[in-house]
Amino acid sequence: MRTSWSEIYKKLSPELRLILLCSNIETRDANRRQIKLLISGNVNWPDFTRLVLRHRLYPIVYRYFKKLAHPGVPDDVMTNLSQFDKENIYKTLKMLTEFQTLLKSFDEGGITAVPIKGFPLAYQLFGDITLRTSRDLDILISPVDVDRSMKILERKGYVCNQSLNGAFSLKRWMKFNKHLEYQNHHLGICVELHWRLNCHCMDLPQDIIRGNMQLVRMLDYSVKIFGRESLLLYLVIHGAAHGWFRLKWLLDIDTMIRKGDFCWDKLYQLANHLELRTVVNQTLILVRTFFGTPLPDDVTQSARMDTRAHCLANMALHLITDEDNQPSNTKPLIEKCQLFYRQKLYECSLLRTQNKLSFISCVFSPSVEDLELLPLPEKLYFIYYIISPLTWIYRSTFKVMLSLFQGCDSDTL
């Protein structure tokens, strides 16, 4: 029997419902009475603060609270949210300045660099680059430009977080990975250099992206960005791959749909071509559940008839609500184990048959860590295929045990 999504919404904590209502710019004025009732009710404000930070929705929620000026919101909550909002504004403006500098260097080097998500997405969605949080600068380049792009970043004071020894090591890394991470310790800025848009074996080819780009003028600077349908599809596979760990990702989808400046037929044509229709339907079920997103009748019918999409949506929804039930570092070990099992079951269910084969292939392929552990000449490369499954099991087991005993609310997603 299928889950009643309206019933699940009613069972969400008052803290999470308040966050959802306040973060939806399009509907919150219509829901002002309900928002005020929740604020005046039995909100657990420490839990509210933890959740609004975890889901990275605090810039929108804080600024709405300022506008609402409700006396029921404690002063210490407003003070904390104000501090986080100021830090986000400072970081975003610093990243924007650095991105403009890097983009100029890439242009001078004949490299087309395209931002992924980040402040360009915030500008598209909200007209304000500081209303959406970003951990780092995600930049998409062509695979043939990776080596030159690395040199540009290194000249700008960035240091690669991955240990790569020579062209052979870089070649192997590029084959089985999608990006390199660079850190500028002086600026406190991280850059992820992407040559592939692959999330949990769901791939959005570069030729589709680059054949459907648009130019946007942002703060007197022109930036090439993803076309609307390809951007929406990338947001779908990115959020789905991470189990919709941050509800800000669903808010992105909701806002894009409400703006309506894309073509549903083109979106589904692209999703069908890449065999991602079920993941799109999963997303629509979740966004309708959490934000009440209006959908065309034929789109609603498509999602309703997709049994696998309902299963995936149900798994993701329960992962979100289980995580929100209490901080991960306070959960008993047995609950952490159960949550870990549900996460891995979701990840496995998300993969189609051919994707599962690709995932297994990656497990049995040598990693950079293997190359560092046992440096071998290229003619003995076959030996890595013997040791890589063993090292993968060891590293995975270590990470699992560390997360279970310490608890983690990853800041990397």
One-character DSSP codes across 113-135: -EE-SHHHHHHHHHS-TTSS--S
Instruction: Compute the average pLDDT of residues 368-397.
Output: 72
- 367 against 207, higher pLDDT: 207
CA–CA dist 64, 40 (Å, integer): 16
**Position 76 pLDDT exceeds 70:** yes
Instruction: Compute the average pLDDT of residues 187-205.
Output: 90
pLDDT tens across 135-185, in order? 999 999 999 999 999 999 999 999 998 877 666 578 878 877 899 999 999
CA–CA dist 247, 169 (Å, integer): 37
The predicted pLDDT at position 355 comes to 63
Q: Are 137 and 192 in contact (CB under 8 A)?
A: yes
The predicted pLDDT at position 264 comes to 96
Q: Are 190 and 232 in contact (CB under 8 A)?
A: no
CA–CA dist 211, 405 (Å, integer): 47
**Position 87 pLDDT exceeds 90:** yes
Q: Are 111 and 148 in contact (CB under 8 A)?
A: yes
CA angle 288, 293, 294 (to 5 degrees): 115
Q: Are 153 and 124 in contact (CB under 8 A)?
A: no
Angle between helices 333-350 and 384-406 (to 10 degrees): 140
**Which of 128-137, 215-224, 385-394 is modeled with the greatest confidence?**
128-137
Instruction: Compute the average pLDDT of residues 227-235.
Output: 94
Percent of the chain with pLDDT over 70: 84
pLDDT tens across 341-378, in order? 788 788 888 887 556 666 666 666 666 667 667 777 76
Beta bridge partners of 193: 139, 180
- Sorted by where each starts, the structural domains of the chain and their CATH numbers stand as 91-226 (3.30.460.40), 332-413 (no CATH)
- 364 against 81, higher pLDDT: 81
Beta bridge partners of 184: 189
Q: Are 237 and 202 in contact (CB under 8 A)?
A: yes
One-character DSSP codes across 242-298: TTT-SHHHHHHHHHHHHHT-S-HHHHHHHHHHTT-HHHHHHHHHHHHHHH-----HH
The predicted pLDDT at position 409 comes to 47
pLDDT tens across 14-66, in order? 999 999 999 999 889 899 999 999 999 989 999 999 999 999 999 999 999 99
The predicted pLDDT at position 360 comes to 64
pLDDT tens across 296-341, in order? 999 999 999 999 999 999 999 888 887 665 555 666 667 767 777 7
